[in-house]
A and B are shown apart, each in its own frame.
Chain A
Amino acid sequence: MMDEKLTFHFDVDGKDFTSAGQASVQVKKNLRQLGIPTEIIRRVSIAMYEGEINMVIHAGGGKATVSVDEECIEIVLEDNGPGIKNIDQAMQEGFSTATDTIRSLGFGAGMGLPNMKRYTDVMDIYSEVGVGTKIVMKVNIR
């Protein structure tokens, strides 16, 4: 399909909830153009979308990098937000620190991180309180 690693970079705007998800929509388009199977594209875009929403809700935005090679698609999300105090707790379905405002917008149900894990083959979270969070996710193409 491709000989070299392809990389896409995105800045995720933390001020505007309405535009959250734009990068994920773009990634979906790019992967479709590359001829990646639909099921794989769906898993990548859902995981990235949840991550993007998280960065907007909790961290005031951040950066997203998506790399594609023959073996897998890697999504790296980095922010300079407040960090995650207790990662095990954050990974539990239903646990959320989101505000009522965010809940009224349809998110903050405590499903974001669990969904990201559900749709990816590898997910690692590196987080330091007061410094930021980095999440690395991988979806195998074969």
Chain B
Amino acid sequence: MKISTMKELLGAEVLCCEEKLGGHVYSACGCDLMSDVLAYVKDQAVLLTGLVNSQVIRTAVMMDMNCIVFVRSKLPTEEMLELARESGIVIMNTDKRLYDACGILYSNGLVGNRVK
């Protein structure tokens, strides 16, 4: 799914790396536990989360994820956005809840990562 399509579906606001909206994600993960995110590799994936701290960005960097969506209108700090810019990760936020945001993306064809 194109990142710009996700933005439209979630009614999301882009907070950094807008120039990368043309990129694609191939799987998704909705989670507030970073160690669970780190347990299974997802290439070019989006992370949807309600957790807001620098470790969310670093987790995405480690996993080579290319987009993070903060749910329930949560706002990252400028320091977090700077970390994301360094790695070219698109950051968005949406007023939707985690369950709803995941459901919308899933029902539009973005399936989760298969557990190996």
Residues in chain A within 8 A of chain B (CB atoms) = 17-21, 24-25, 28, 38, 42, 45-46, 49-50, 53, 105-112, 114-115, 118
- A111/B36 contact (C-beta < 8 A), A38-B64, A46-B62 known: yes
The complex places the Cα of A109 from the Cα of B55 at a distance, in Å, of 14
**Chain B contact residue count (CB 8 A cutoff):** 20
User: What are the 9 A-B residue pairs with the smallest beta carbon separation, nearest first?
Assistant: A111-B35, A21-B58, A106-B34, A109-B35, A106-B51, A109-B33, A46-B62, A45-B62, A49-B62
Between-chain CB contacts (< 8 Å), 19 pairs: A18-B79, A20-B58, A21-B58, A42-B41, A42-B64, A46-B38, A46-B41, A46-B63, A49-B59, A50-B38, A105-B51, A106-B34, A106-B35, A106-B55, A107-B33, A107-B55, A109-B33, A111-B33, A118-B39
The complex places the Cα of A24 from the Cα of B83 at a distance, in Å, of 13
Any A CB within 8 A of the CB of B61: yes
Residues in chain B within 8 A of chain A (CB atoms) = 32-36, 38-39, 41, 51, 53-56, 58-59, 61-64, 79
B35 adjacent to A112 (CB under 8 Å) = yes
Number of A-B contacts (CB under 8 A): 67
B38: chain A residues at CB < 8 Å are 46, 49-50, 111, 115
